[in-house]
Amino acid sequence: MRSRTARTTGGRLSSPVVTAILLILVAVLGLLLLNALHVINLFPTRTDPAVLEETTRFALRDLGELATQEALMTRVHSMSDSRQLFGITWPGTRRVLIFSYDISVRAGLDFGQVAFEADPQARTVTVTLPAARVLEASVVPDSYQVYEESGNKFNAWHSEDFAGAMDTMLREGREYAVAQGILDKARDNAETLIRGFLASAYPAGEYTYIFNWPGEGG
């Protein structure tokens, strides 16, 4: 008598085996789809963000305090990326964010390190000052503006994206202000302030003021 088995004839797989394979395929495709939509993260798949940083407005104004110059600028920040899987960009996963903040950059010097020496016979006042430097870079409150934002709840920008963007905006804002001459203006304004402080005792019409900036090579 022939023995009976659970296998079908002709080399076919039984119905339970086929069902199991189909369930596994559906589960794998489901996980890949959720990963592409950023619902879960099976492995890093997002492309490096394409970041564009530029200044659209710049102005200088004098400050009669420790900070002797302030730069005000509007920084426009652009971020975009997309989901990739096996080197293929998934449709509908590209996201874009373009926004701006006003940035304040202050430069000046430590007036506690300013020293002067008057020579009544030579009619000179020699002032020695520390190097001018950027003291602070900060975001102007309530200056946030969004120009373009795309994405969805499965593909949204997160707080760490904004934190990284703010660090970039402040760092590049400082660099831009320096490149635009904020330190030179800070030095000029410091000299003007000091002349004003000393004018009552050493009138500018009677004394020659000599400013030394050892830290500046001057």
- State pLDDT tens for residues 11-45: 555 677 667 677 777 776 776 666 665 555 555 55
> What is the distance between the alpha carbons of residues 161 and 182, in angstroms, rounded to a whole number?
29
pLDDT at 84: 67
Give the N- to C-terminal CA distance of the chain in Å, as an integer: 110
23 vs 194 pLDDT, higher one: 194
Question: What pLDDT is stored for residue 46 in this prediction?
Answer: 57
Place of tokens 């920040």: 77
Tell me which of 86-90, 125-129, 140-144 is least confident. Answer: 86-90
User: Residues for the chain: how many in total?
Assistant: 218
| Calpha distance 73→169 (Å, rounded) | 11
- Per the CB < 8 A criterion, the answer to whether 97 and 78 are in contact is yes
Stronger pLDDT, 77 or 11, i.e. the higher one: 77
Answer yes or no: is pLDDT of 185 > 90. Answer: yes
